[in-house]
Amino acid sequence: MSLATPYPAQLHLQGTRKIARWRPFVQWLLAVPHLLIAYVLSMLRVVLTLIAFFTVLFTRRIPRPLFDVIAMSLRYEWRVASYVLFLHEDYPPFDFQTTADDDRADPHTIVTFAYPEQMSRWRPLVKWLFAVPHYVALAVFGIAATVIVIMGFFAVLFTGSYPQRLRDILVGVYRHSLRVQSYVGLLTDTYPPFSLQAD
């Protein structure tokens, strides 16, 4: 079910389902430099989110440069994750454009964020608590996603194609995770829907 109003954090995957049969064996290895960068960016995001916590608490705003760097780090992670999970073949770019809108440097992955002009002063104190039901759902989805990755591995190995339904579910789980991260990470005050569907 689609949302009437698009959620402020959007994630999509485009492109063919055709994958060379040997790729699931090596894409995770080829992605090691990206995985290291994504890890460093995730550590940076923790620091920036802490700063954002205080700026929202005292000014009801998250500075745009801060918002854009956090958005870039989440976009970078999706580009790397989609490659590691062999959802496409193209090597992700080393792209660090700090913008809320996707610069389309990677034609397969799209992650965009709507910048909030003003935020609730008190919600940063309780968002983590409001998100608990989503964390429970994501734990269940995570188990399902692990099974899907294994099924996808064998599907690609034997057919050279990622099954559409499995791919859609996997992308949906990551989309849900991104929405929850965006909410708890102070990129939006809009409560995430319990949905894997694109808006």
> What is the structure's pLDDT at 15?
85
pLDDT over 60 at 131, yes or no? yes
pTM of the model: 0.93
> What is the structure's pLDDT at 74?
97
pLDDT over 80 at 199, yes or no? no
**Three-class SS state of 11:** strand
> What is the structure's pLDDT at 1?
40
**Three-class SS state of 189:** coil
**Hey, where are the domains in the chain?**
9-184
pLDDT over 60 at 79, yes or no? yes
Q: What percent of the chain has pLDDT over 70?
A: 98
